[in-house]
Amino acid sequence: MSTTTERVRLAAAAVAVLLAGCAASQRNDASVIAPATTYDFGRPATPIELARFFSPLPDGRGLPKGSGTVAQGKRLYEAQCLACHGDNLQGGLGDRLIGGRGTLVNGDPTKAPVKTVESYWPYATTLFDYIKRAMPLTAPDSLSDDEVYALCAYILSRADVIAADATMDARSLAAVRMPNRDGFIPDPRPENFPPVSQTQHRK
Amino acid sequence: MSSHHDTQDGPGSPPRDARRRFIGRGLGLAGAAASLPFAARAAAPPGAVERPVPADPAKVPGYPLEDESYGARSQFETEVRQRYKTATPLSSWTFTPLQDSLGIVTPSGLFFERSHAGTAVIDPRRHTLFVHGLVARPRKYAMRDLKRFPSISRLLFLECSGNGLTEWSKPTMPTVQGTHGLTSTAEWTGVPLSTILNEVGVRSNAKWLLAEGDDAAAMTRSIPIEKAMKDCILAYGQNGEALRPEQGYPLRLLVPGYEGNMNIKWLRRLEISDAPFMTREETSKYTDIRPDGKAVQFSFEMEAKSVITAPSGGMSIEPGFHEITGIAWSGRGTIRRVDVSVDGGSTWREAALQQPALPICHTRFRIPWQWDGRGTPVLQSRCVDDTGYVQPTLGQIIALRGLNGPIGSVYHLNAIQSWQVASDGKVTNVHHY
């Protein structure tokens, strides 16, 4: 690399000598000398600084310590979530959280599939991540890790995904198999559309 | 004009007697304005300042130039972004008024918005970007650090993947602002993301990059590392100045050609990983469910699309000459051709493309049209990009993806749009495919 840099520098100097008549253009030519491969701006990020961030992966890496039960989650839900998500988790200002299994297969143009945590979400770790970072709407990132585990436990229990006496922690949450785990496929686009003549028409 | 020679009047100053008249008139108007009710004084449209309008602007001096100012638009220009009435204005979106758009650049004040927990207010002196995960050297960057790196500028469109979501089953929104207003173009300036990734030393097992916002949603999306290295930009500039707050001030990610929500605003963190994080926004939202119950995930690219912006829904036209104009764009490349039909797709004519036609950027098209006032013409545009992709009809899309419920697949509707001109000249949004 240094040889290349040296060549560029020599070439730039040669160009400067050949073409430049004045000091100003020599300064300009000096600027074309190859830049450093790293600039080293900014500062190292320390583990302490990074500790405030969390981003669990579906296999559980990145989930914090702590735990919570369904019963703890029920109390928290009623205090923190019920106003927007409903006393039966049926939704309101916030999304519906449970129900909807069996509605995703749906060719009915008048009836929408019911997409909930129970029917649609493929990973339980996403539930922890989203509640922790974004809920409640007016006080995001205000719940402790134990509280978030408890809310995950309550919602997953009400969704009949885990038992009513379950405890959620990093290990058990990552082990939850969501009903729609296999419901996602890769992007098939660009698609090969049929000719317009072979499609339905509306005028 | 004897005062022309008066040394007290320098070049550019009004003659003394005229100035006296101006002052008198100004005072009188100030008095009149003070007596007006507040509502009348606040009548200027958003972004404009209400000023008195002289009968003849050539007979009186205009308003003086300010020593320090930030320009406002004319008080006679009224187009505004319009919000879709979601349950809460914290998670909502606003549409760009494309019907009034000129050229390809969207004014920053009219650039569409989509935010999931309101618009964050961030002091750039306290803002930090962290880059960590599968890297040799985790680092943090203040805004002043990022601005030291070699920068680039690029004109790019951004489109929300939900643009047009109301239009699957039936024509719903009356104007092009509602049907297509979640796309805008700006010139963005910032640091190539590849520069920063080279700085931190991405490990060989890295496959994905998580981008996280510093808003109350802490919005997150996973992006393939190949895309991050290819052409993503850490942008701090928009149309020649700093980003607008609603566009992510002081720093946003640009993922050229990919769906809008991946262009994380208020960017605070990049975490490199060997797997996608499966965040809420890439599992429960922004996935495209089909009638067989399976949902397409990681549908990144915004495919080729075009729309006629004038004449368009809500307008009224008279017989005679009209320039049909609109915009076309493709997340996969450059628009190569736009055809326009005035008979609902039976026959097509090639429109002129305003040059330069840039990749992943709005491209303006135009074609002259003489309406004889007869019949009820259906106006359509159809674009082709440089991959050879031809913008489909809604019928073609539904043939492959189906209509799953009254909303349909929700995202990634890029079908040919139809505007019908009634015999009285009124233009409406119709389905014609």
pLDDT tens for each residue of B170-184: 999 999 999 999 999
By the CB < 8 Å criterion, does B206 face chain A?
no
**3-state secondary structure at position B179:** helix
Q: How many CB atoms lie within 10 A of CB A101?
A: 15
Residue B139 parent element (H or E)? strand B139-142
Please list, in sequence order, all residues whose beta carbon lies within 8 angstroms of the beta carbon of residue B17, skipping any fewer than 6 positions away.
Answer: B3
Residue B365 parent element (H or E)? strand B363-371
Q: How far is A31 from chain B (nearest CA, A)?
A: 12
| The residue to which tokens 């005679």 are assigned | B320
Give pLDDT, residue B43: 83
E strand spans, B57-198: 82-83, 92-95, 113-115, 128-133, 139-142, 152-159, 183-192
Give pLDDT, residue A36: 54
Q: B125 vs A134, A193, B141, B250, CA distance in Å?
A: 24, 51, 11, 10
Question: Best residue in A187, A192, A197 to probe B by mutation, most B CBs within 10 Å?
Answer: A187
Contact A50 B398 (CB under 8 A): no
Helical pair A145-158 and A70-80, crossing angle rounded to 10 deg: 100
Strands B139-142 and B267-273: unpaired
Which has more pLDDT, B23 or B382? B382
| The residue to which tokens 């050609």 are assigned | B257
Please list, in sequence order, all residues whose beta carbon lies within 8 angstroms of the beta carbon of residue B58, skipping any fewer than 6 positions away.
Answer: none
Please list, in sequence order, all residues whose beta carbon lies within 8 angstroms of the beta carbon of residue A36, skipping any fewer than 6 positions away.
Answer: none
E strand spans, A137-197: 167-169, 184-186
Strand B82-83's sheet: what is its strand order? B82-83, B92-95, B113-115
- Spell out which residues of chain A touch residue B412, defining contact as CB-CB under 8 Å: 189
pLDDT tens for each residue of B6-53: 333 333 333 333 333 333 333 333 333 334 444 444 589 999 999 999
By the CB < 8 Å criterion, does B395 face chain A?
yes
* Residues recorded for chain A: 203
Q: What is the mean pLDDT of chain B?
A: 91
* Alpha-carbon gap, residue B56 to B58, rounded angstroms: 5
Residue B149 per-residue DSSP state: S
Closest by CA to A30, choosing from A47, A11, A49, A56, is A11
Tell me what ipTM this predicted complex has: 0.86
* Alpha-carbon gap, residue B93 to B181, rounded angstroms: 10
B144 burial type by CB count under 10 A (0-12 exposed, 13-18 middle, 19+ buried): exposed
Q: Work out whether the CA dihedral A95, A99, A102, A107 comes out positive or negative.
A: negative
Give pLDDT, residue B2: 34
| The residue to which tokens 């549908």 are assigned | B299
pLDDT in tens, chain A (203 residues): 344 444 444 444 444 433 333 333 344 444 455 555 689 999 999 999 999 999 999 999 999 999 999 999 999 999 999 999 999 999 999 999 999 999 999 888 889 999 999 999 999 999 999 999 999 999 999 999 999 999 999 999 999 999 999 999 999 999 999 999 999 999 999 999 999 999 999 98
Closest by CA to B306, choosing from B427, B163, B191, is B163
pLDDT tens for each residue of B334-378: 999 999 999 999 999 999 999 999 999 999 999 999 999 999 999
Residue B73 per-residue DSSP state: B
Q: How far is A13 from chain B (nearest CA, A)?
A: 22
Contacts with B, A 75-134, CB within 8 Å: 93, 104-113, 115, 117, 120-123, 125-126, 129-130, 133-134
Q: What's chain B's Rg over C-alpha atoms?
A: 25
Q: How far is CA B292 from the centre of its chain?
A: 34
Give pLDDT, residue A64: 97
B153 neighbors B238 (Cβ within 8 angstroms): no
B272 neighbors B312 (Cβ within 8 angstroms): no
The phi and psi torsions of A76 (rounded to 5 degrees) equal -65, -40
Q: How far is B269 from chain A (nearest CA, A)?
A: 9
pLDDT tens for each residue of B78-131: 999 999 999 999 999 999 999 999 999 999 999 999 999 999 999 999 999 999
Please list, in sequence order, all residues whose beta carbon lies within 8 angstroms of the beta carbon of residue B39, skipping any fewer than 6 positions away.
Answer: none
* Alpha-carbon gap, residue A166 to A71, rounded angstroms: 9
Closest by CA to B166, choosing from B364, B410, B345, B347, is B410
Question: Best residue in A84, A103, A185 to probe B by mutation, most B CBs within 10 Å?
Answer: A185
B360 neighbors B385 (Cβ within 8 angstroms): no
**3-state secondary structure at position A151:** helix
pLDDT tens for each residue of B59-81: 999 999 999 999 999 999 999 99
Give pLDDT, residue B36: 41
Is the predicted pLDDT of residue B210 greater than 50, yes or no?
yes
Rounded to two decimals, the pTM is 0.88
* Alpha-carbon gap, residue B210 to B130, rounded angstroms: 11
Strand B139-142's sheet: what is its strand order? A43-44, B139-142, B128-133, B267-273, B208-213, B220-224
pLDDT tens for each residue of B138-189: 999 999 999 999 999 999 999 999 999 999 999 999 999 999 999 999 999 9
Contact A196 B345 (CB under 8 A): yes
Give pLDDT, residue A18: 39
Give the CB-side neighbour count of residue A52, counting CA atoms within 13 A: 11
Q: What are A15's two structure tokens?
A: 């160009």
* Alpha-carbon gap, residue B420 to B22, rounded angstroms: 52
Q: A112 vs A62, B56, B110, B116, CA distance in Å?
A: 35, 60, 33, 23
B279 neighbors B222 (Cβ within 8 angstroms): yes
B356 neighbors B393 (Cβ within 8 angstroms): no
By the CB < 8 Å criterion, does B391 face chain A?
no
Residue B432 per-residue DSSP state: -
The long-range contacts involving B56-63, CB below 8 angstroms and separated by at least 24 positions, are B60/B22, B60/B25, B61/B14, B61/B18, B61/B22
In chain A the first and final C-alpha atoms are separated, in Å, by 65
Contacts with A, B 295-324, CB within 8 Å: 295-301, 303
Residue A195 per-residue DSSP state: P
Q: B291 vs A105, A112, A114, B329, CA distance in Å?
A: 5, 10, 13, 28
* Alpha-carbon gap, residue A117 to A96, rounded angstroms: 8
The secondary structure of B297-347 as a DSSP string is: E---B---EEEEEES-TT-B--SEEEEEEEEEE-TTS-EEEEEEESBTTSS
Strands B128-133 and B267-273: parallel
Section B276-302 average pLDDT: 96
Residue B40 per-residue DSSP state: H
Q: Name B235's bridge partners.
A: B190, B252
**3-state secondary structure at position B433:** coil
Contacts with A, B 259-288, CB within 8 Å: 269, 271, 273, 275, 277-280, 283-284, 287
Closest by CA to B156, choosing from B282, B286, B333, is B333
Q: What are B243's two structure tokens?
A: 């980003």
